[in-house]
Amino acid sequence: MTYCVGFRLKAGLVFASDSRTNAGVDYISTYSKMHVFEPAEDRLFVLLAAGNLATTQAVVNRIQRDLRDRHQGFIEGGGSSLGGRPDLCTARHLFEAADYVGHLSVAVQQDFAISLRQAGASGEASFILGGQIRGEEHGLCLIYPQGNAVMATDDTPFLQIGESKYGKPPLDFVGHTGLSLEDAARLCLISELITRRSNLTVGPPFELALMPADRLRISRRIKLEQDSREVRRSLEIWQACMQDGLRRLPRFAWEEDPL
């Protein structure tokens, strides 16, 4: 399992991911699910991946191959390995970049669809793609296994893939587009840690990337182990806040009138 979250703020974008991959409960390994692409000086993308690891790795490999081929002159013009469709270098808008990743994902899944179906396995994968192309605002998309995508908005500023339920309430309760990059990163980290506590197929190290608006660079990128100061302290503080919350919750009517 996996849990990734992206947050679109006025101040920029925040990305968070865990690093656990498992095939059953007896084959657990560690893979980064956060990929940064700087295809040209006027654009920057961060891709978070969840789902079948063979699919997500193949998608990342094909993106990298397309970028390499273009830089080496094997691809020219607006098209990509997907025919006339723009790639990360030539997309003029974020939604075109999402469209490219979505079509790559579907193409990879189709390559193995018959054998996966015969094995009763799923090759599905989901992605969060965020970034900025100069001249456009920064943006964030969730790309479904079927290749289509939805974008984060002011009303729905965060997007999640993978094991999304345990960690959603803190984002729902205190997340909004006015947070600083650092506060949103703390909130995404606690969302990861809560999820990890309830589902052991989500696991460390946890990765965070902060991308300020209009700078076309990742300002901070860190990887936190379970025994890091940030993780230990975050869990302690969150537990203390919940304990405090429980103490402050309203008494029932019969407790207020002990007669």
Kindly list the residues in this chain that would bind a second copy in the complex (CB under 8 A).
Answer: 165-170, 172-174, 182-183, 185-187, 189-190, 194, 197-198, 220, 222, 229-230, 233-234, 237-239, 241-246, 248-252, 254-255
Query: Taking Cα atoms as reference points, which of 93, 107, 91, 94 lies closest to residue 146?
Result: 107
Q: Among residues 172 and 257, whose Cβ is nearest to a second copy?
A: 172
Q: Among residues 107 and 222, whose Cβ is nearest to a second copy?
A: 222
Beta strands per DSSP E along 12-106: 12-17, 20-22, 28-30, 34-40, 43-51
From the number of C-beta atoms within 10 Å of its C-beta (0-12, 13-18, 19+), residue 17 rates as: buried
- To the nearest 10 degrees (0 to 180), the angle between helices 94-111 and 53-71 is 120
Decide: 9 and 157 in contact? Cβ < 8 Å: yes
**Cβ 179 to a second copy shortest distance, Å:** 8
Decide: 36 and 46 in contact? Cβ < 8 Å: yes
**Cβ 2 to a second copy shortest distance, Å:** 15
Decide: 143 and 137 in contact? Cβ < 8 Å: no
**Cβ 243 to a second copy shortest distance, Å:** 5
Q: Among residues 25 and 249, whose Cβ is nearest to a second copy?
A: 249
Q: Among residues 255 and 257, whose Cβ is nearest to a second copy?
A: 255
Half-sphere exposure of 40 (CA within 13 A, CB side): 13
Q: Among residues 105 and 195, whose Cβ is nearest to a second copy?
A: 195
DSSP 69-92: HHHTTSS-SS-BTTBTS--TTT-S
**Cβ 181 to a second copy shortest distance, Å:** 10
Decide: 170 and 176 in contact? Cβ < 8 Å: no
**Cβ 84 to a second copy shortest distance, Å:** 39
**Cβ 259 to a second copy shortest distance, Å:** 15
Alpha carbons 14 and 180: distance in angstroms, whole number? 10
Q: Among residues 17 and 90, whose Cβ is nearest to a second copy?
A: 17
